[in-house]
Chain A
Amino acid sequence: MDALGLVNAAFDLVVIVLLPAVALGAVMSADLFKAIILFITLGLLLALTWVRLAAPDVALAEAAIGSGLMGALLLSARERLARTRPGRDRRTSHYPRWMTHPPPRRSHRAVSPWAASGLVLIAVAGLTAAVVTLPHEAAGLAPEVARQTPQRDLANQVTFVLLDARGYDTLLEIGVLLLAVAAVWSLGEAPEPPQNAAGPMLQGFVGTVGPIMVLVAGYLLWAGTDAPGGAFQAGVMLGALGVLLSLAGRHPLARLPGWALRLAVVSGPMLFLAVGVTMIGLGRHFLEYPQAHAKALILLIEATAMISIGVILVSLYAGGRPLSDESGTRKGRL
């Protein structure tokens, strides 16, 4: 083994040791804040792992969604939990108890820890058996994908698989996000965002970084056709910008009337579906694109999906229906 291989092996070993340790810490920690920070760390370690496995697409998605936005969502949920006085808050009094009360430390566990550990052990044993009995040198689907991927137009094999060969995967993922927004909006209205929390530093930071983030989102979308990137990564970039703007006290969706917000949320999946159904009408399969227009169609779908994903993520972060819905005025904050 040469020097570089040795360094890589040492790096991998560190990651392999850290991954379960951090995961355990996140699960076992009684302090919610500590658990969330460890969860964010776990996401970053996972992203590193994907990089080492030569899967930059997955690494980007994991770092942006699994670590960044999930972290922001968890932190805001924890902060909201701390602000909520159980049973008294008008907005949350109809919530089920488990949502407004901190988890009990040791009382009435629903599942015995032994049963849970047993299930996990069985799962681990099954996975281990599956990995051990994997055929060596299995070719997998990689050659087939490489053969099918068009050479010039859509050179990124991951994008090709996700949007052309298995487009319904991506469609369903956006569908899940849509369902999540519907669930969050049906739980209640968004909490009043903290006023004057952010000073000039954060606002200046958003002013500096915001334009760059928009640029990066556009780049990720465009590059997604022949390099790592795509609608999800780009949408998360926009979503993160939206979260930053909310934190800086400039709620990005506040000026949108309700119908525009809802249109932005559903336009991505709707266009996706419309194109798919049109293809059936033209005598093709669902979500099968004609070779000549594949790139243009996929870019169009991805651009709309990016907007939808960004708006959905910001709506999720807001944590409830936009306030304007009840008052009827257009000054609602989100």
Chain B
Amino acid sequence: MEAIDLVTGVGLVLGAFFFCAGTIALLRFPDIYTRLHALTKGDNVGLALVLLALSFQAGSWSEVCALLLIWLLVMVASSTTSFLIAQAAQRKGVKPWTR
């Protein structure tokens, strides 16, 4: 196995770890705000790592740019939607969790 494949493998596994962490948080955290917080953060980092790992396998720079563009677009979309979900919850009167 070449070094570059190893880097890709490590990146993919790390990315999957962050996705897993985000999903576990979604299932385990107490209220909608904390869930959104953990999920969007975890998924953004996970996606970044996965795409970084894949860009080492890309055949050309245009492919790398496409992967980067995917990451940026998903980040814009997910941060906006998480804000909107939180806003909707707040308007409905969902109280933030306190210990």
Q: Which residues of A contact B (CB under 8 A)?
A: 199, 201-202, 205, 208-209, 212
Contact = CB atoms under 8 A, between A and B. Distances in A.
Given A205-B76, A208-B76, A209-B77, 12 more contacts: A199-B87, A201-B80, A201-B83, A201-B84, A201-B87, A202-B80, A202-B84, A205-B77, A205-B80, A209-B73, A209-B76, A212-B73
Determine the main DSSP class of B at the interface with A.
helix
Contacts of B83: 201
Closest 4 CB pairs of A and B: A205-B80, A201-B83, A201-B80, A208-B76
Contacts of B84: 201-202
Contacts of B87: 199, 201
Interface in B54-90: 73, 76-77, 80, 83-84, 87
**Chain B interface residue bracket vs A:** under 10
A202 B83 CA distance: 9
15 contacts: A199-B87, A201-B80, A201-B83, A201-B84, A201-B87, A202-B80, A202-B84, A205-B76, A205-B77, A205-B80, A208-B76, A209-B73, A209-B76, A209-B77, A212-B73
Interface of B: 73, 76-77, 80, 83-84, 87
B71 to A, nearest CB: 14
A208 B84 CA distance: 16
Contacts of A209: 73, 76-77
A31 to B, nearest CB: 16
A76 to B, nearest CB: 14
Contacts of A202: 80, 84
A26 to B, nearest CB: 20
A201 B82 CA distance: 11
A199 B73 CA distance: 20
Contacts of B77: 205, 209
A100 to B, nearest CB: 23
A172 B77 CA distance: 34
Nearest to A198: B84
B15 to A, nearest CB: 15
Contacts of B76: 205, 208-209
A205 B75 CA distance: 11
A246 B80 CA distance: 16
Contacts of A201: 80, 83-84, 87
A103 B83 CA distance: 32
Contacts of A208: 76
A205 B84 CA distance: 11
A323 to B, nearest CB: 26
A198 to B, nearest CB: 8
A201 B87 CA distance: 10
Nearest to B76: A208
* Residue from B73, B80, B83 having most chain A Cβ neighbours under 10 A: B80
B66 to A, nearest CB: 12
A304 B75 CA distance: 33
Nearest to A212: B73
A205 B77 CA distance: 8
Nearest to A206: B80
B56 to A, nearest CB: 16
A209 B77 CA distance: 9
A209 B80 CA distance: 11
A322 B86 CA distance: 32
Contacts of A205: 76-77, 80
Contacts of B80: 201-202, 205
B19 to A, nearest CB: 14
Nearest to B83: A201
Nearest to A199: B87
A202 B86 CA distance: 13
